[in-house]
Amino acid sequence: MSVQSRIHLLDNKLTDAEKRIAAYILAHPDEVINATAKEIGEQTQSSAPSVVRFIKKIGYSSVNEFKLSINSEKNEKRDQKYDDVNLADSFEVTKRKLCNNAILTLEETSEVLKQEQIKTIVHLLEEKEVLFVFGIGASSIIAEDIYQKWGRIGKIIFFEKDLHILTAMLSSHQANSAIWLVSNSGQTREVVKAAQIAKKIDIPIIAQTMLGKNPLSKLADHLIQTSIPKEAFLRSAATNSLFAQLLVVDTIFYSFLQNNEQYFEKIYNSRKLIEEINR
């Protein structure tokens, strides 16, 4: 993820001093490469420790790592900033903005995903006979995608939209099951409540949410996170978050298949049956 993208993702979480540091870095990348933290602090009416804290806040372990990243991005020509659609935009501009936002979201999420995290979740899905999946609103689209994918390979999976019914089902299948909860914000009341219930009866929780600490991430046994698409006036970020979440699901699903080749035949057979229905 680029320095520019990291800064824009945290726009609304920066202090006034951090905003000055961010603005200077974005406006003067060449000078920043050759400046010390103290010199950047002097240019931004802050201090060297404030600059170092800001650099760590946007995800770098050291000033040197931060500078190397800026240097490697210096000659990039692609716009790295989320750009919301405006009512006055032409059709071509609208397409370009939406495409750029989607690509940026997918690239940033791809960088966030780590192989060991995916392997741990795949192992859990192999180990547990029953899988529950739950999400509300837009996240229910992702939950249903999980349900369809694992259902096609014969996994015992339940996708229930009613929290009360889900609770009853969890209590009767708790011995050998796991639950996969989806909430982009990690704050959806019903999803957090489902996690609390699962935690209480010792059902392992896979939580799929965006980066950062939130109520759902704190309850998770296995956490998988996406980038944070920038919120904007027309909420194109709502679409971008779906792209990010779908990438996560697909990455886990194909990793699962690569680890369990016997399921490829089940997918092939289900596709043939569907083709017959559509004739």
pLDDT band at 76 (very low <50, low <70, confident <90, very high): low
pLDDT at 78 over 60: no
Would you say residue 72 has pLDDT above 80? no
Task: Specify the pLDDT at position 133.
Answer: 97
Residues 185 and 210: their CA atoms lie apart, in Å, by 6
Would you say the pTM of this structure is higher than 0.75? no
pLDDT at 79: 47
- Joined together, the tokens standing for residue 189 give 């009341």
Mean pLDDT of 206-222: 92
3-class SS string, the chain: CCHHHHHHHCHHHCCHHHHHHHHHHHHCHHHHHHCCHHHHHHHCCCCHHHHHHHHHHCCCCCHHHHHHHHHHHCCCCCCCCCCCCCCCCCHHHHHHHHHHHHHHHHHHHHHHCCHHHHHHHHHHHHHCCEEEEEECCHHHHHHHHHHHHHHHCCCEEEECCCHHHHHHHHHHCHHHEEEEEECCCCCCHHHHHHHHHHHHCCCCEEEEEECCCCHHHHHCCEEEEECCCCCCCCCHHHHHHHHHHHHHHHHHHHHHHHHCCHHHHHHHHHHHHHHHHCC
- Cβ neighbours around 55 below 10 Å, total: 24
